[in-house]
Every structure is written in structure tokens, then in C-alpha cells.
């Protein structure tokens, strides 16, 4: 059950409208992003100032340092809390982006939650659009999707396409293709997300699974400002398997279907041979067909055991019930303490 306090908002008459007297927590996972962080923070703070004056929305930003090897954590702690609260959550090691997002969600205090990359690829200028869709149009999940993928290789686009096809195959709930992690969740949607107990997390899928009113916003991802992406073919494959096995039993269904098809063709082939021998007295063809048959069967079986193994592995890790991350350090700078009123007016346009 979600908690939805029965308060009315000041900015609209829509009944489905979320509560604007909540604030917005912006979760930014950062892994070795020391170089671009202060620039990004400045842009976020600027948007925060604007949102504060337009909607009277309190804003906080939560930098989750996912075990960076550079001085990301140090830089984050030095960031000024002007017009917004700044939290820095330092994880005890690199747990991966999905875990960092969860850590951010757990530390968010203001109701609505936004997830945003720390490498500048998710333009802070879009924050205002997302907030507008939430506050003025009453959407609970405002997710962004890449407007174009032309700059990506053909192979990658095809793989992404097939991944989503398999993921959504016969699924009652379709996870939108191209949707990114850059998204805003209203307080009740964020609450719902918090109640999802699984340890193997696939945020895009989870935030689409919870339902409520969802809307898509197209955007052009910016180029990475510093450093290189941490994703390569293998880590993307890992995430895809993670997503598939968390959200769909399609691979298991493929296994069953394949089994049925193979058994049926074996039956027909058998009948055919019997018929040929009885009716025409022909020789049964020799070893090659037998060997091919055996290899196909063996290969398919091994593959499907692998698929089963994925699900069993997932069960095991869920049953172990380990925490998804550990926090080594946590710092909070409140805007009220740090902000001299004069400084705030100085910086506003």
C-alpha cells in the first residue's frame, strides 16, 4: 500500500495531480566522475533555484559515490549547498549503478525522486520539463527516452531491439524500448518503488512495473563530458540477462516451445523412417543424421540448462538476502545552514 496524504496542491485543479508541497530528491550515481562534478552541480543548482521560485519546490541532490577510485567523494563533499540540500553517500566499494540508484532512493527525503547520470549525458536543463509533467500534468512516472539512436552501431541497435522484443514477448506489461534511467517518480511512485523487495534490480523495469500514470519525454543525450563509459559489450550483456530474468520468463518459454518443436519433428521423422522401411524397404540412412541429431539435441539441452541456471542463481541470491550495498560515509549539507540569503539573491537571474 502506498501512502498518499490527502492534501491538495496549489498549482492545479486536476484530481490526479501529485502533491507539490513535497520536494524533489535528485539521485546522481557517480563513479569516477570527479572532473565534471562541480560543473554538473552548478547546473543542477541553477535549475533548483528556478524550480524553487516557480513551484516553491524544495530540492535536494544526492550524490552516491559508488566506490570511485578518484576523489569524487571529496569533490562532492566540497560542493556548495546553495538553494538545495546536498547529500553525499559514499558506498563501501563499487556495487554497480543499480545498487547506487537504490542507495540514493533509500536516502531520498523529499518525496518525489529523480534519477540522473553524473556524467553530464542527462542534461539538467531537462529537469524542468520532467517536473512540469509531474506537477502540471499529474504524471507519476516521467521517463526519458533517446530520441535518436543513429549514432550507435547497427549491431548495438539490433541487439537492443531484440532484447526488448524478448523482454516484452507476451508480457502483460511492456517495458518501453529506449527508455533510460533518467526519470522522475512522484512521491507515491517512489514509495511503490521502495516496496519492491528484490535484490537483483533493474530500475527501468521496476519503475515501469509499478504502474500509475506514466509518460515519455524524448531527449538527445549529450556527449559524455569526461572519462569513458563504464559499459562494454559484456557488462551490457550482463545487464540484459539481469533484466530478462528479472522481468520475464520468456527464456523458459522459449525452452519449452523449442522442446515441443523438436519432439514433434523427431516424432514425424521417426514415423517417416518407419513408413519408408515398411513400405519401400529402404535402408535407414546411417550415422551422419544420427550424429547431427544428437549434437542438436545436446546443444539445445545444454543451452536450456544454462537458462535454468540463470533463474536458479537469481533465486539463490534473493534467498541469501544480502544487503544490496553498504554505506561507508554519509554527509548532509542543508541549504538553510549553508545559504546566506544575500548569496542566494546574488546568484538568481
Interacting residues toward ligand UDP by CB under 6 A: 29-31, 33, 66, 94, 96-97, 100, 117-119, 121, 229-231
CB 329 to Mg ion: min, Å: 24
Q: Which does 326 bind (CB under 5 to 8 A by kind): Mg ion, ligand UDP, none?
A: none
Cβ 342 to ligand UDP shortest distance, Å: 33
Residue 176 CB, shortest distance to Mg ion, in Å, is: 19
Residue 242 partner contact from ligand UDP, Mg ion, none using kind-dependent CB cut-offs of 5 to 8 Å: none
Q: How far apart are CA 34 and CA 56, in angstroms?
A: 31
Residue 317 or residue 334: which is nearer to ligand UDP going by CB? 317
Nearest by Cα to 104 from 62, 59, 58: 62
Nearest distance from residue 123's CB to Mg ion, in Å?
Answer: 12
37 and 119 Cβ atoms separated by less than 8 Å: no
Query: Which residue number, 119 or 140, has a Cβ lying nearer to Mg ion?
Result: 119
H helix count then E strand count, the chain: 12, 8
CA 297 from centroid of its chain's CA atoms: 36
- Nearer to ligand UDP by Cβ, of 66 and 140: the residue is 66
Residue 21 and residue 218: Cα distance in Å, rounded? 27
Phi-psi region of 18 (alpha: psi -120 to 50; beta: other; left: phi over 0): beta
Q: Shortest distance, CB of residue 118 to Mg ion, whole angstroms?
A: 8
Residue 24 binding partner per list Mg ion, ligand UDP, none, with a CB distance cut-off of 5 to 8 Å that depends on partner kind: none
Q: How far is the CB of 223 from ligand UDP (least distance, A)?
A: 10
Q: Whose Cβ is closer to Mg ion: residue 29's or residue 205's?
A: 29
Nearer to ligand UDP, 1 or 69 (CB): 69
> CA-CA distance, 166 to 168, in Å (whole number)?
5
> For ligand UDP, which is the closer residue by CB, 54 or 226?
226
| Residue 60 binds to Mg ion (criterion: CB under 5 A) | no
**d(Cα 61, Cα 43) in Å, to the nearest integer?**
12
Q: Which does 205 bind (CB under 5 to 8 A by kind): ligand UDP, Mg ion, none?
A: none
* 256 binds, options Mg ion, ligand UDP, none, Cβ within 5 to 8 A by partner type: none
Give me the least distance between CB of 236 and ligand UDP, in Å please. 9
Task: Express the helix, strand and coil content of the chain in percent, nearest 5 each.
Answer: 50, 15, 35
Angle at CA 177, nearest 5°, toward 163 and 180?
110
Query: Which of 108, 116 has the CB closer to Mg ion?
Result: 116
**Do 331 and 62 contact (CB within 8 A), yes or no?**
no
First-residue to last-residue Cα distance in the chain: 42
DSSP for 77-97, please give it.
Answer: HTS--SSSEEEEEEESS---H
User: What is the per-residue DSSP string for 239-307?
Assistant: HHHHHHHHH--HHHHHHHHHHHHHHHHHHHHHHHHHHHHHHH-PPPP-HHHHHHHHHHHHHHHHHHHHH
Shortest distance in whole angstroms from residue 172 CB to ligand UDP: 28
Q: Which CB sits closer to ligand UDP, 31 or 164?
A: 31
Q: Are 24 and 96 in contact (CB under 8 A)?
A: no
State in angstroms the smallest separation of the CB of 167 from Mg ion.
Answer: 22
Q: Which residue number, 122 or 333, has a Cβ lying nearer to Mg ion?
A: 122
With beta carbons less than 8 A apart as the criterion, state whether 77 and 326 touch.
Answer: no
Contact track, Mg ion, 13-52, x by CB under 5 A: ----------------------------------------
Which residues inside 69-128 make contact with Mg ion, applying CB under 5 A?
Answer: 117, 119, 121
Binding site for Mg ion (CB under 5 A): 117, 119, 121
Amino acid at each position: 500500500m502506498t501512502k498518499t496524504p490527502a492534501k491538495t496542491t496549489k498549482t492545479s485543479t486536476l484530481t490526479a495531480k501529485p502533491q507539490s508541497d513535497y520536494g524533489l530528491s535528485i539521485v546522481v550515481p557517480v563513479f569516477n566522475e570527479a572532473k565534471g562534478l562541480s560543473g554538473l552541480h552548478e547546473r543542477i543548482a541553477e535549475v533548483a533555484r528556478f524550480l524553487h521560485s516557480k513551484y516553491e519546490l524544495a530540492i535536494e541532490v544526492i550524490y552516491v559515490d559508488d566506490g570511485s577510485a578518484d576523489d569524487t567523494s571529496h569533490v562532492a563533499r566540497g560542493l556548495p549547498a546553495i538553494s538545495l540540500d546536498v547529500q553525499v553517500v559514499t558506498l563501501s566499494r563499487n556495487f554497480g549503478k543499480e545498487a547506487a540508484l537504490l542507495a540514493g532512493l533509500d536516502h531520498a527525503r523529499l518525496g518525489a525522486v529523480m534519477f540522473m547520470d553524473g556524467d553530464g549525458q542527462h542534461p539538467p536543463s531537462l529537469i524542468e520539463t520532467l517536473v512540469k509533467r509531474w506537477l502540471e500534468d499529474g504524471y507519476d512516472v516521467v521517463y526519458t527516452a533517446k530520441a535518436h539512436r543513429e549514432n550507435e552501431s547497427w549491431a548495438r541497435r539490433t541487439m537492443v531491439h531484440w532484447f526488448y522484443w524478448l523482454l516484452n514477448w507476451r508480457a502483460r506489461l511492456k517495458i518501453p524500448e529506449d527508455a533510460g534511467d533518467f526519470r522522475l517518480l512522484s512521491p507515491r511512485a517512489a514509495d511503490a518503488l521502495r516496496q519492491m523487495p528484490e535484490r537483483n534490480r533493474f530500475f527501468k523495469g521496476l519503475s515501469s512495473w509499478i504502474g500509475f500514470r506514466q509518460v515519455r519525454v524524448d531527449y538527445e543525450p549529450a556527449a559524455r563530458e569526461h572519462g569513458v563509459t563504464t559499459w562494454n559489450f559484456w557488462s551490457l550483456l550482463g545487464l540484459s540477462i539481469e533484466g530478462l530474468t528479472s522481468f520475464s520468463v520468456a527464456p523458459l518459454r522459449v525452452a519449452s516451445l523449442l522442446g515441443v518443436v523438436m519432439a514433434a519433428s523427431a516424432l514425424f521423422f521417426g514415423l517417416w523412417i518407419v513408413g519408408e522401411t515398411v513400405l519401400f524397404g529402404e535402408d535407414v540412412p546411417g550415422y551422419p543424421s544420427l550424429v547431427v541429431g544428437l549434437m542438436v539435441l545436446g546443444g539445445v539441452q545444454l543451452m536450456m540448462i544454462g537458462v535454468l541456471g540463470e533463474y536458479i542463481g537469481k533465486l539463490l541470491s534473493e534467498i541469501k538476502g544480502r544487503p544490496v550495498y553498504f554505506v561507508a560515509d554519509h554527509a548532509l549539507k542543508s541549504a538553510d545552514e549553508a545559504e546566506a540569503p544575500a548569496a542566494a539573491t546574488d546568484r538568481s537571474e
